[in-house]
Structure 1
Amino acid sequence: MIKDFAKNIDVMLYEYDSLYTDSVIFKQKPRYIANTLDSTLYELTNLRAGKYLLVALNDANNNKIYDPDTDKIGFINDTIVIPTENTYDLSIFKEIPELALFRPKEVAKGHLIFGYQGIYENFKIDVTSNVPYDFRSELTYEKDKDTVNYWYTEVEADSLNFTVTADSIVEQFTARIRSTEIDSLVSVPSANNTLHLLDTFSISTNTPIIRIDTTQIHLVDRDTIQVPFKAFLAPSKTKLFIDFDKKQGNLYNLDINPNMFSDIYGISNDSMVFRLETKTIEDYGVFKIDIQSNFDNGFIVELLGSTENVIRRKKILKPELVTFEYLNPAKYFIRVIIDENKNGIWDTGSVLEKRQPERIKYFDIEIEIRANWEENEIFNVDD
């Protein structure tokens, strides 16, 4: 059975013969192949006796050869000996491709995107063209899109040359400059009415902020008493946080004057007014789940919404009771990543290293949270 549901998964057998190498799946088609069609089940029949490598492939270009850049794969570490009556479960995953850099593309005047694949620790973009003395640039990272945004102030040129460094890789690129309109400043608040007791109010922008003036922020509570706050930018400079001590069942009036912040292009914000209300503790529910296991693993416990969006995430280094407080009444699900190396993230697999991805377990009971109520469950992730 294929554990990760997707349509049309190819299930393949490669024979361990005199020509077999670990790279065979990258170069040759398998001896036997079946397809799951619309299910997660597969069956291979009329097989010649022998030893085989069992592989599942989500084949994007349908060439029956594994392409790590586009395909997902699953495999069994053990050798499959035919004949056999055994049933084999496979989990498909996307490998991390080798680090590579791609030519930049222009999004708007003063805005380029640099694409890449793989994982890096250090990323740097240096402009090598002649630019004005007051030239300024900012980087913002979208790792979920494998993209680095490069924002820069006005320059009179029809192209710009760059040296891009990602760890040990160094590439030279030229970007053609054609756009005449810069990105307009767009501001989006994290909340308009109700502010969760655990959340920090923020304003996200589509361009990096380079200046803030906190004297242009005014915050008072229901009784018009001034509330102390701290305003600061996220490392990306595209999110401004306004943090303050929130009391349950209160109302806060937040006024932001024009010109409180400016982006890299010198564009400032307009006046903004927010009326933010907090709920009482009794409006929320509590969920506790006892994570049980006989193995020395870490665990990443994720509370999911109805669309599998992550509502909360907690990381633990051993099996223990996990508590999620201040939950809005709703239905939730639990997903647990078995964090075998205890690095706090899910690690994918590797075919050549014969390493399986870290396992993901779903709690098979839907959790319904009610106001002023506590739910308790036990989840043995070894089952």
Structure 2
Amino acid sequence: MSRKILGFIFVFIIILVSYQCAQRGNPTGGPKDITAPELTRAEPPNMTTNFKGQKIRLYFNELVKLKDIQKQLIISPPLKNSPVLSPIGNANKYVEITIKDTLAPNTTYTLNFGQGIVDNNEENPKSFFTYVFSTGDYVDSLELKGVVKDAFNKKPDDFISVMLYKIDTSYTDSTIYKRPPNYITNTLDSAIIFKLNNLKEGKYALFGVKDAANNNLFDQKTDKIAFVKDTINLPTDSIYLLTLFKEIPDYSVAVPTMEASNKISFGYYGEGSDISINTLTEIPDTVKTIITKERDKDTLNFWFTPYEMDSLIFTLTNEKLKVRDTFKVKSRKVVFDSLKISMSQNGNIEFDKPINLLSNTPLIRFDSTKIKLMDKDSIEIAVNVKLDTLRNLLNFDFKIDPDQNYRMELIPGAVTDFFETTNDSVAFSFKTKSLADYGNLTLNLNSNSIVYPIIVQLTNEKGELQREIYATEPQVYTFDNLNPGKYQARVIFDLNGNGKWDTGNLLKKIQPEKISYYPALIELRANWEKIETFNLID
């Protein structure tokens, strides 16, 4: 090969190498870090016995930081004072815990950090990292497992506190209201399984609490509760089920308020069907009064014709519970609550839902001759009108046809309220869709051991009730004229036969009535006829 050719090849190689070196590209930065930080050592070591100090240091192989640590860290048994943790807001290669409490003797303590320790760059969590130490000669090693579910909703809440109380001479049924448990853990995110570790042999009471205040106590007004009726004997191989429910709160009355110049409102908690309201203040004979229950609220309204007064003194008596409360309500300058009416359904109306005229003030009478219902051809339709004084509404009962437009007209004087106020001329328009715009769903229940009565319900994706069928014996459950969408089916086992779902009660040791959910959402489209088999687990 001639020198000329060799020279040419050499120059070509140089140019090619230079070209490759000159090419610009976007740096990839390497693969994304998905590795959680690793503990390299602890001072004192994990599982230390005869712990005497106040500080713990956890060293990691990379920079770490604390994320949402106040919510993530669970200490069992709970400490009276929260420990001081660092770093807060910064990254470091160690996490330091300073204990502010005097620790109990011969006790195993567990610090579960949940997802609270993350690396500095990608925030990969050191998931459920646990540090354990004992103030005695050994570390307790027993464990307890279980599952949490919600009594009413298909999906349970997250961050459920699972509490274990030692049954000793100081334990009573009300202890959970007064002091933190001996052991505690929680469920994270959508997890339903729990595990309590490093437990001591003995007899215990097991609870689950959706702890709104994060104070490791049960507050009936705000928290959901779950309990196991039987005593837990450790050690055990059993897996326990905790079913969360919201109790009906104990009866109590809120401080009444003068909402309007003609209305005083009395809010209450718990069972209020037997409440009576009486005035201790002498009221002039010319003043008229009436008491109504506010629609869909636990509130009683004391209505009166306004007059000059400084204050009123009331007694509220719960006849069933034999409880009496006395309140003084001072007069204040507020507006008169005057008559306003509306319809329970507007726009597209549903075939299966009632059509009612609603009022904010108490209705006392109506004149059916001043109420007219007409269809899209302006033909008047016969309608039966009924006054429901308990719910304070007028019910309109008439044959509802598909693909129809309706117009409801009320001329002045059609309705009269307690204050002798009548309506102005008003009209409401509404319509129905074609039957082809709806779908029909049939549910067949498959089980050999259904105990009747039951309530078969359909809800939307948000859990809002759409339809229900009450059954005292086997039947096919047909839901006609449903709007297209996705539905959730459930069966309530109405053990006491009162036609509704009943929650539980902790102190009375009553578990909530059982509900079974269809495993998947049921999609229904317009003009569909769908049949589903609901296999109930015995």
User: When the two structures are superposed, what TM-score results if normalisation uses the length of structure 1?
Assistant: 0.91
Instruction: Look up the equivalent residue of 2:303 and give its one-letter code.
Output: W
- Which of 132, 136, 144 is equivalent to 2:284? 132
- Which of 186, 209, 224 is equivalent to 2:363? 209
CA distance in 1 between partners of 2:535 and 2:165 (Å): 36
- Which of 222, 229, 234 is equivalent to 1:77? 229
What does residue 325 of structure 1 align with? 480
CA distance in 2 between partners of 1:37 and 1:316 (Å): 38
Q: Does 1:3 align with 2:149?
A: yes
What does residue 95 of structure 1 align with? 247
What does residue 70 of structure 2 align with? none
Look up the SS of the partner of 1:202 in the other structure. strand
Q: Which runs of 4+ in 1 moved over 4 A?
A: none
Look up the SS of the partner of 2:230 in the other structure. coil
- Which of 187, 190, 194 is equivalent to 2:348? 194
Unaligned stretches of 5+ in structure 1? none
What does residue 158 of structure 1 align with? 310
Deviation at 1:142, TM superposition (A): 4.2
CA distance in 1 between partners of 2:355 and 2:221 (Å): 39
Deviation at 1:160, TM superposition (A): 1.4
Does structure 2 conserve the Cα–Cα contact (< 8 Å) formed by 1:303 and 1:310?
yes
Counterparts of residues 102-121 of structure 1 (less than 5 Å)? 102-121=254-273
Does structure 1 conserve the Cα–Cα contact (< 8 Å) formed by 2:259 and 2:334?
no
Does structure 1 conserve the Cα–Cα contact (< 8 Å) formed by 2:365 and 2:387?
no
Deviation at 1:120, TM superposition (A): 3.5
Q: Which has the larger displacement, 61-70 or 329-338? A: 61-70
- Which of 203, 209, 232 is equivalent to 2:386? 232
CA distance in 1 between partners of 2:475 and 2:340 (Å): 43
Q: Does 1:281 align with 2:435?
A: yes
Instruction: Evaluate the alpha carbon distance shift between residue 180 and residue 356 of structure 1 in structure 2; reply closer, same or farther with a 3 A threshold.
Output: closer
Deviation at 1:310, TM superposition (A): 0.8
Query: What are the Cα deviations for residues 35-65 of structure 1, in whole angstroms up to 9, with x where unaligned?
Result: 2243433221111122221111122333323
Instruction: Evaluate the alpha carbon distance shift between residue 285 and residue 77 of structure 1 in structure 2; reply closer, same or farther with a 3 A threshold.
Output: same
Deviation at 1:147, TM superposition (A): 1.8
Instruction: Evaluate the alpha carbon distance shift between residue 173 and residue 20 of structure 1 in structure 2; reply closer, same or farther with a 3 A threshold.
Output: closer
Query: Structure with the greater relative contact order (CA < 8 A, sep ≥ 6): 1 or 2?
Result: 1
Instruction: Evaluate the alpha carbon distance shift between residue 13 and residue 180 of structure 1 in structure 2; reply closer, same or farther with a 3 A threshold.
Output: closer
What does residue 400 of structure 2 align with? 246
Unaligned stretches of 5+ in structure 2? 1-146, 151-155
CA RMSD of aligned residues (A): 2.3
Does structure 2 conserve the Cα–Cα contact (< 8 Å) formed by 1:221 and 1:251?
yes
Q: Does 1:270 align with 2:424?
A: yes
CA distance in 2 between partners of 1:120 and 1:191 (Å): 28
Instruction: Look up the equivalent residue of 1:296 and give its one-letter code.
Output: V
Count of aligned pairs: 383
CA distance in 2 between partners of 1:69 and 1:370 (Å): 41
* Identity of matched residues, %: 39
CA distance in 2 between partners of 1:56 and 1:197 (Å): 42
Deviation at 1:74, TM superposition (A): 0.5
Look up the SS of the partner of 1:269 in the other structure. coil
Look up the SS of the partner of 1:203 in the other structure. strand
User: When the two structures are superposed, what TM-score results if normalisation uses the length of structure 2?
Assistant: 0.66
Look up the SS of the partner of 2:168 in the other structure. coil
Instruction: Look up the equivalent residue of 2:468 and give its one-letter code.
Output: R
Does structure 1 conserve the Cα–Cα contact (< 8 Å) formed by 2:364 and 2:389?
no
CA distance in 2 between partners of 1:381 and 1:113 (Å): 45
Does structure 2 conserve the Cα–Cα contact (< 8 Å) formed by 1:208 and 1:236?
no
What does residue 511 of structure 2 align with? 356
Instruction: Look up the equivalent residue of 2:313 and give its one-letter code.
Output: N
Instruction: Evaluate the alpha carbon distance shift between residue 277 and residue 97 of structure 1 in structure 2; reply closer, same or farther with a 3 A threshold.
Output: closer
What does residue 20 of structure 1 align with? 171
Instruction: Look up the equivalent residue of 2:250 and give its one-letter code.
Output: E
Does structure 2 conserve the Cα–Cα contact (< 8 Å) formed by 1:131 and 1:155?
no
